[in-house]
Amino acid sequence: MPSKIYFGLLTLFTFNVNAQLLTLSVAEDLALHSDPTAQIYTAQQTRFQAQAISSSQLTDPMIKLGLANVPIDSFSLTDDPMTQFSIGMSQQFSRGDTLALNANNFNLQAQQSVQLSANRQAELKLQIRELWFDIRFTKLAQQILQKNQALFKLNVDNLYRQFELGYKQNQDLINAELELAKFDDRIAAFAQQEQALRGQLLAWIGSQAFEQLDSQIPEWQTSRDYAKQGKVVHYQLLASHPQVLAAQQAIDVAENTIEIANESYKPAFKVDVGYGHREALDMTTGSARSDLLSGSVTMNIPLFTGNRQDQVVIAATQGKGIKKAEKDLLLIKFNGILNGAIANFLNTESRLQRYQDTLLPHAKRNTEASLQGYQLNTNNFEQIIKAFMDEQALELEYQQLHFQSLKTLARIRYFQAL
């Protein structure tokens, strides 16, 4: 690789030690403020509110201009007394409370957009939290490997000195140097994972994704306490979740649609008002004839409802049933996922305690015993390598479990809408 390219990549992925630490809460806020989905839901809400106002208004009145009763033999406007210039206006009135119900429909959809926006924020926070914990683990894994590499190198240096004095075999030195070389590859593998994860985080928070992460871990005691309650039915908690509330809004919209459908059984009205001006004079007196005023009311009466209104109501009723079933399925799905998350969290916490109490202390004592045995020539160097690597593997597994537990806790918080 050319030196300039290598230097550029090194500069990109090297952290400034004086840079401010990136906390989880700051990463969440940056992602929420840069999320373009928020603009979508805001625009959607504004659109529904505008449609609510528009749909609550009467249709525009119709203006009619005309010329009536013109004799075709002369086309004179003054010969026949019935000839007139006319102007009229008609206004259509909707059935019952249809206009108000239409407006309510759009207002309900605007409220649903608010809940969908809140759910999107909760999903994005979960995604950022999971990325943040994954990055923290890969970074910590590199630090553990680097620390163990330094410790292992001390043993290799000591072994090299003993080899020069003729106390140890060449095979032990070769095995030790091979294991030492493997550290670099393991560290590079975790570094590769870290950069890939930071690249994903970059899409949400920009260049700050490459800042050093704060080592402080959130407590989230509320979520821990809820998980420890051992509940298996969480419908009371889930009822206030934004996605469930959005599903309830969909049911409310469907209920409102049924009310609109029921209004179709009511008559619709149209009012017409007209004014006619006559140019012809009275043949007896020679005076101007009186102008004419007319008006009418047209009523649309739904007499045969079987194939129209009844079917609209049936369709609307079935639509509500579908939305209610969708909400029930969502609650069942969420309840199952939350149960799984709680079970994983509690089991992982139990495993972490076992690592702390038993596995890690035993592994450390085993390494120390292997090292003492090698110094006393009661075992070979391969046993030291195995004991050392077993202890390192357990330490990495413990940290991986720890951050997996935090990711599971973050998922529980998603269902708590926290």
Mean pLDDT computed over 144-172: 68
Domain that holds residue 49: 18-58+118-266+306-415
pLDDT at 7 over 50: no
State CA 162 to chain mean position distance.
61
* Strand, coil or helix: 152: helix
Dist CA 354 CA 246 (whole Å): 42
In a domain, 226, yes or no: yes
In a domain, 289, yes or no: no
Q: What is the pLDDT of residue 3?
A: 40
Give the chain's domain count.
Answer: 1
CA distances from 141 to 151, 177, 219, 297 (A): 15, 21, 21, 83
Q: What is the pTM of this model?
A: 0.82
In a domain, 138, yes or no: yes
Return the higher-pLDDT residue of 116 and 378.
116
- Between the CA atoms of 182, 187, 193 and 194, what dihedral angle is there, to the nearest 10 degrees? 180
In a domain, 65, yes or no: no
Q: Provide, for the chain, the percentages of residues in helix, strand and coil under a 3-state DSSP scheme, each rounded to the nearest 5.
A: 70, 10, 20
Q: 84-93 and 268-277: which strand pairing?
A: antiparallel
Task: Return the amino acid letter for 388.
Answer: F
Task: Return the amino acid letter for 226.
Answer: Y
Query: pLDDT tens, 281-328?
Result: 766 666 778 888 899 999 988 888 888 888 999 999 999 999 999 999
* Strand, coil or helix: 73: coil
The mean pLDDT of the chain is 87
Task: Return the amino acid letter for 118.
Answer: A
In a domain, 233, yes or no: yes
Dist CA 276 CA 293 (whole Å): 6
In a domain, 76, yes or no: no
* Strand, coil or helix: 379: coil
CATH of the domain at 156: 1.20.1600.10
Concatenated DSSP letters of 46-65 = HHHHHHHHHHTSPPPPEEEE
For 10-24, 25-39, 141-155, 227-241, which range has the lowest pLDDT when averaged over its residues? 10-24
Q: What is the pLDDT of residue 186?
A: 92
In a domain, 9, yes or no: no
In a domain, 68, yes or no: no
Burial of 211 (0-12, 13-18, 19+ CB in 10 A): middle
pLDDT at 138 over 90: yes
The model's confidence at residue 5, banded by pLDDT at 50, 70 and 90, is: very low
For 9-23, 274-288, 296-310, 366-380, which range has the lowest pLDDT when averaged over its residues? 9-23
For 78-92, 101-115, 170-184, 362-376, which range has the lowest pLDDT when averaged over its residues? 170-184
Neighbouring C-beta atoms of residue 288, cutoff 10 Å: 12
Q: What is the pLDDT of residue 172?
A: 64
Tell me which residue has tokens 């990549």: 9
**Strongest mean pLDDT among 261-265, 309-313, 377-381, 399-403:** 399-403
